[in-house]
Amino acid sequence: MIFEQIILHCFQNIKAERSSSSIYHLLKGKRSIQTVQDAHLYSLGSYYGVYKSISKGYYDKKIHELVKDDLLEMVDEQEALYHISHKGLEWKNNQAFPLSFKGLLYFDKADIFMGRLLLLIQTLTNSKMNFYSFIPVVNNPEIELWVKHAYRRVKGSESVILYKIYSELKLCLSQLLEKEANIFVDRLTGYQSYGMSLFQLSKEYNMTVDDIHLILISIIHRILGDLEVDSTKFPILSTMVDKKSSLSQITNSASETYKYFLNGLTIEQIANVRHLKLNTIQDHLVEIALYDHQFSIDRYVNKNEQNEILSALKKANSHRLKDIKKLVDDHINYFQIRLVLAIQNKHNRQGGN
């Protein structure tokens, strides 16, 4: 019931200030500044992108089931707003939840790391047995290319490298529950031995496919965390981490916008030069405000307006833009409110909240 716990936790945190779809986008890992900002505002960044393969239809079915079981309650049908019920809160708090996630931090890295690990182990175990006509378990050209290069560097030393991978993985998995470690190992593919599918694992361990998927994601995040803390302990596994990819960095498009901003161009001029909509440039600036410590929003929101928005935020006791907008002067727009929320959230993160 891990998946249900995560959904309920998300609804508990957003307090009916965002629609049901916002949580779907969060779990899916939608690459929009609104979804990323929501992840920060509602302290749900750990769950960002933990279920990229989930469909909207399946998600809506889960919501319907939670409502039917009285764990969720409808607040506003038109806006698809829900909040966790008293029964739901009680149920969630009584469930064990040993998993940890770092969705925002490892959004891009998790899939790449696991793909490289799976395919490299498969390649090395088959190569060791002089068998080269196997069907790759990973169908991703970039990962396949990386494994080809990695294999060329270690060709002839397959046994040595496999033992090192085994030793490093054993060290990582030794910190997990035995059941979790077994699930991860059963997913691996070797010579004449294909790893189990999510469905097969769910049957083997008497768990839902959702929970098997989430356990595996959690394990990958924890392994990546171990590698980050001390890569010298894991010299082979560390090479499988994509050093470039990280959602916590400003996107390329926003970086391009920032260059024009630093040259003194207005939002309208940047939109004109880049042939983009005004809203898109505003999204870029909110993204920059969320991540860049050097960025000042004073050009767009003066100090008095910032204080007014912060005061309205406190009075509204809500992060809903509509609720805040009602409490500020009419000339203050949504873009200005979003900028102030981004700065406030950045300050909270720096303060360890």
DSSP state of 76: E
Domain spans of the chain, in order of start: 2-93, 103-238, 252-350
Mutual angle of helices 141-154 and 103-128, in 10-degree steps: 50
Which pLDDT score is estimated for 290? 86
What top-level class would CATH report for the domain 252-350? mainly alpha
Tokens 């720096």 belong to which residue? 350
Which pLDDT score is estimated for 336? 96
Counting Cβ atoms within 10 Å, is residue 320 exposed (0-12), middle (13-18) or buried (19+)?
middle
How many other β-carbons are positioned within 10 Å of the β-carbon of residue 208? Answer: 15
DSSP state of 249: S
Q: Are 121 and 165 in contact (CB under 8 A)?
A: yes
Identical fold for domains 2-93 and 252-350, yes or no, is yes
Residue 298's φ and ψ, nearest 5 degrees, are -60, -30
Which pLDDT score is estimated for 353? 41
Per-residue pLDDT 10s for the chain (353 aa) are 899 999 999 999 999 999 999 999 999 999 888 898 899 889 999 999 999 999 999 999 999 999 999 999 999 999 999 999 999 999 999 988 878 999 998 988 999 999 999 999 999 999 999 998 999 999 999 999 999 999 999 999 999 999 999 999 999 999 999 999 999 999 999 998 899 999 999 999 999 999 999 999 999 999 999 999 999 999 999 999 998 655 555 677 888 999 999 999 999 999 999 999 999 999 999 989 988 888 899 999 999 999 999 999 999 988 889 999 999 999 999 999 999 999 987 776 655 44
Residue 251 CA neighbour count, 13 Å, CB half:
15
Q: Which fold has domain 2-93?
A: Arc Repressor Mutant, subunit A (1.10.10)
Tokens coding 145: 């290319």
